[in-house]
Structure 1
Amino acid sequence: MPVNKKKIITFLVILILLSLFLGGFVYILFLKNTNPDLKASSYDSRSELYWERLQNRPEVLLGPGYPTDLRDFLETLRGKESYLWEGDRDKTYTHLLETYPDERGHVLYAVFIAFMNWKEKSSEVEQRGDLSAYEKLTAVNRVSEEIFPLVLRTILFPKHPTTPPVLLLSYLEDYVQKNPYSYSRERKRIFLRKMEELYQAEKWEIRTWESPMFLRQVIELIYEREILEMSEEEKTSYRSAKLEELKADFWN
C-alpha cells in the first residue's frame, strides 16, 4: 500500500509539472502571436545581415551614391513593386542589385524591407476605429521609433515646422473628446503646456507655417461650451477677443 501511495504521489507531481509546462508553453506562444517584434519583421533572409549592420552605421545612407531623397526613393520603389512587378519582391531585389551593383543595392533593399514593414504596421494603426487622431499619430511615431534607428529615422522623417501644429490640434481634440465637461480654463492650460512641449525653441519658425485656420479651430475647441450658448452676433466678437487673447498667451 505505501508503494502504491508513493506511485500515486509521483504521478500527480509529474502531472502537475507537465500541466505547468504546457500552460507556460501556450502562454509564450500566445504572447509571441499577439506582440510581434517589429524589429524582427523588418528584415528577411536576404536583408538581415545588412539591416543589422545599419543599426550601427545608418549614416552610410548619407554617403555618395545613395538617393538624396530616400523617402521618395522608397515610395517610388514601393509603387513599382505593387504595380509594375505585381508584388514580386524578387524583382525588387534584382532591380536594386542591377541598379546599385555593390553594397548599396543590399543596403537599400534592407531599408526597403524595413520601410514596407513600417508602412504595413502604420496602416494597421490608422485603420483602427478605437483610436483618436492624436492616438494614431503617436502610435505611428512609436512604430517608427521601434523599427528605425535614430539617424535613419531623421533621414526618412525629417522634422518639418508643420508637424507640431497638427499634433497639437489633434492633442486638444483628443482631450476635449475624452473630457467633454472640462472648463475652458483647463483646456487652455493643457493646450499651452503641450504647445510649450512641442514647439520649444522653434516656435517662431513654426508660427510662419501654421495654417490660417489653426488658432480658430483651437478657439472653437477651448471655448466650445461658452460659444454654444451665444447668439451669432455674440459669437463673432467673443471669438475675436479670445483669438487675440490666445495669441498674446501663445507667443509672449
Structure 2
Amino acid sequence: MTESPGGLHYAFVHGVLGASRLEILTRLSWPSSQNFLVTQGVREGMSCLEAGCGAGAITRHLQGLLGKGGFVTGFDMDEESIELARKKFSDSRDVNFRVLDLEINDLVFDQQFDLIYCRHVLEHLSDPEASIRKLTRYLKPGGLFVAQTIDCEGQYCWPDNAAYQKSAGLLARIIDIRGGHSDCGRWLPSMLRKLKLLRIHVEVENLVYLEGEGKLFVPLTLEALGKGLLEEGLLEKEAFRQLLSELRQFCNESDSIVSLPRFVHCAGRKPC
C-alpha cells in the first residue's frame, strides 16, 4: 500500500484490522446516526458524497437509506480500504469509490450532491474548516452537510481503572500529535456557522456499555492505535502489551462500565 503524506495524520491502523474495527463501530453507532440523518431530511432518491468512506462500513447503510434512485460516491485516502470497498460493492451500480486525500488532493467531481456525509474524519485533519469548505463546494444549493466527530474528554469508566484512563488519554494524545483535534466536536457547530451554513443542528451522545461488543471495542481501539503509539514513542512495545492486557482484563469484568468518546452529530444546509 502506498500511503499519502496526509495519511500520516491518521492515528489508527488501515487495512483489514482497521476495517473490522469500523464495522463494529458501525454496528454500535449507526442506529443513532441513521436517526440523525432522517430527522435532518435525508430520504430516498438523494445523491450522497461520503468523505472518508474507508472500506464501506457506513456506505451500505447509506445505500439502503437513499434507496431507489439514490447513489453514493465515496472516497478515502487509503488505497487498501478502497479496494476492500470496491470488492464489497462489486455488484452495485449506485455506489462508486475513489482514492483521494481530503487534505492534500484537489477534489474534482462532475456534479453536486444533495448530501455530503463526513463521519469520524474531521478529528484527524489539521484544518477541518478548510476541508469542510472544500467539500461544500460540491453541495447543491439547499443541500445538507452532515458530520459526526468526537470529543475525547467525554470518556469515563466505573470503577476507576488506570489502564482505561491511560488508554483514553493516549487516544486523545496521538490524534493531537498527528496534527488532528481530539476535541473537534466542541467547535464543529461554530465552524459550520462560520462557513455560512444554515439551520445548524447539533446532537451529542455518549455510548456506555456494561457488556457485549461495546466493551470489546475499547481494547480493540487501543490495539488499532498500537502501531502509531510505538511510532510516536508514546509507549514501548512491552508497555503497550501490558497496557492492552490490563485493559482487556478490566473490560472482561462483569460489573465494569466503559464509555466511548462523546460523538457529536452536526448538520447544516447550504444557502439556496
Structure whose alpha-carbon radius of gyration is higher: 1
Q: Bin the TM-score by the shorter chain.
A: under 0.3
Please, what TM-score do these two structures have when normalized by structure 2?
A: 0.27
Higher helix share: 1
TM norm structure 1: 0.28
